[in-house]
Chains A and B, each alone.
Chain A
Amino acid sequence: MTDSLLSRWFCRIYLLMLYAYPREFRLQFGGEMQLLFRDRCRQVSRAPGAWNWLRFAIHSAADWLSTLFAERVAAVRQVSVEDCVRKTYQIVRTVWSVGRRTQPRGFVAEWAMTLIVFLFATTTLVQAYVVPTGSMESTVLIGDHMLVDRVAYSNPGTWGAHLLPYRDVHRGDIVCFHYPEDVRQIYVKRVIGVPGDHIHMVNQQVVRNGMRLREPYTQHIDSAIDPYRDDFPQAPQWNTSPRGREMFARDVRDGELIVPPGKLFVMGDNRENSADSRYWGLVPRDYVVGKPVFVYWSYDAPTDELEGWSLDHLFDVATHFFTKTRWNRTFLVPRAQQAEILP
């Protein structure tokens, strides 16, 4: 019997969904459930019509969600205290032996699997992001864990522009983007210049298209003038990256930077302590990941501990969760803000 492409896709998705069930249950019934699902698909495809498929999909999803929950609860109920201790021990062993795969996945690992499935689904729309540097200090702090809306500035493609809440990047927006020097890292900065803008700085003050700006969102920690930093653009210096030098050579004319098409000029709000477009050049529009939506957790920890989840950091969080969490920043929304034009 040949199956239609649609039913094969359904079966493949269902196979993935089975991984969300507890391991015991999956091992006992997974194969049969897959067969049953395939038979159902065939049954539905014998009575074709998009409506039938839709109903079948909704029914299957509801069945999956409700029983998933029930089986998870049942799996937890069966666990006694000594089981918990044993499983915790197993998990620690599992974590230690990651990569060697000598231990079967434990209880928490199962949950992690469920989470991964959900995260996989959600990362296309939103992404969790932790702020690693203080360059946006006063607006976002080191250790702010934020959700990033990946749809807002996404490339709309041919049809997406009409379906998605897409908007272009404006001046004053806070954006997350791939750091051009190392695309694995994600930075957060404020957009100062969009394509066509003429930009230069005088004594820490931005002059955009001939108009001086008052930027209420900035923080100035150093009143001493560093010409390169505060009277941008000057001649490239030792800490200007090759990309930065390229920008100076190509886009700076008559003491002003002219933002070329498809690029953005970004700076941190912590102006005197921010490695930004002044040093490493412009951000290609395609590198923009999204806009921060809100801070879901703000934790006061040094940068290097936030980058990966080390054991030290886990211990630190476990012991200082209540004291080091900046509760007043929870659910804070970093806002786009317009600069005022000074006469």
Chain B
Amino acid sequence: MGKPSKPEDLLPLTPPVFHILVALSGEERHGYGIMQDVARQTNDALQLGPGTLYGCLKRMLAAGMVEESEERPDPALDDERRRYYRMTALGRRVARAEAQRLADAVDAAKARRLFDRPKAGLTGGA
């Protein structure tokens, strides 16, 4: 599978792929860490199963958006079978492009009054 040169070629991302990239933007994580972080990002709305998570990671590895990391930053849940994943420069550009695309979509929705400003009382910790 040839690596696309432009991040735009990989858009739009599926929600799991986007959330995985967001989870990896701060630090390197192993699978369970990614899963937990995605659940946190989405207020438990998106709970990645192992098949979904590793299916996405497989395609993201092939596309060059993530890579395996040699470091083992999480000593609490360490296990030699656990692999850590890190976002590549391409992955960061793709995530940025996707975030921009989503923002544009939200702007378009706002312009047509499809988007309610979130009510102050309901916003938890976004």
Interface residues of chain A, those whose CB is within 8 Å of chain B, are 21, 25, 28-29, 31-37, 39-40, 59-60, 62-64, 66-68, 70-71
Contact = CB atoms under 8 A, between A and B. Distances in A.
Given A21-B51, A32-B82, 13 more contacts: A28-B58, A32-B31, A32-B50, A35-B31, A35-B32, A36-B53, A37-B50, A60-B49, A63-B49, A64-B49, A67-B49, A67-B51, A68-B51
Contact of B82 (A35, A59, A70): A35
B79 interface: yes
Contacts of B50: 32-34, 36-37, 40, 60, 63
Nearest to A17: B51
The number of chain B residues touching the other chain, given as a range, is 10 to 19
A70 B31 contact: no
10 contacts: A25-B58, A28-B58, A35-B79, A36-B32, A36-B53, A37-B50, A39-B32, A66-B51, A67-B49, A67-B55
Query: Helix, strand, loop or mixed for chain B's interface?
Result: helix
Contacts of A40: 32, 35, 50
B49 A70 contact: no
A150 B99 CA distance: 55
Contacts of A25: 54-55, 58
Contacts of A31: 81
B54 A33 contact: yes
Contacts of A33: 31, 50-51, 54
A71 B56 CA distance: 10
Given A25-B58, A28-B58, A35 B81 contact: yes
B83 A70 contact: no
Contacts of B58: 25, 28-29
B49 A32 contact: no
B81 A32 contact: yes
List the 5 closest A-B pairs by CB distance, nearest first: A63-B49, A67-B51, A33-B50, A29-B54, A39-B32
B47 interface: yes
A66 B51 CA distance: 8
Interface in B3-56: 30-32, 35, 47, 49-55
A77 to B, nearest CB: 11
Nearest to B54: A29
B77 interface: yes
B54 A32 contact: yes
A31 B81 CA distance: 7
Contacts of B81: 31-32, 35
| Most A Cβ at <10 Å: residue of B50, B53, B57, B58 | B50
A222 B55 CA distance: 65
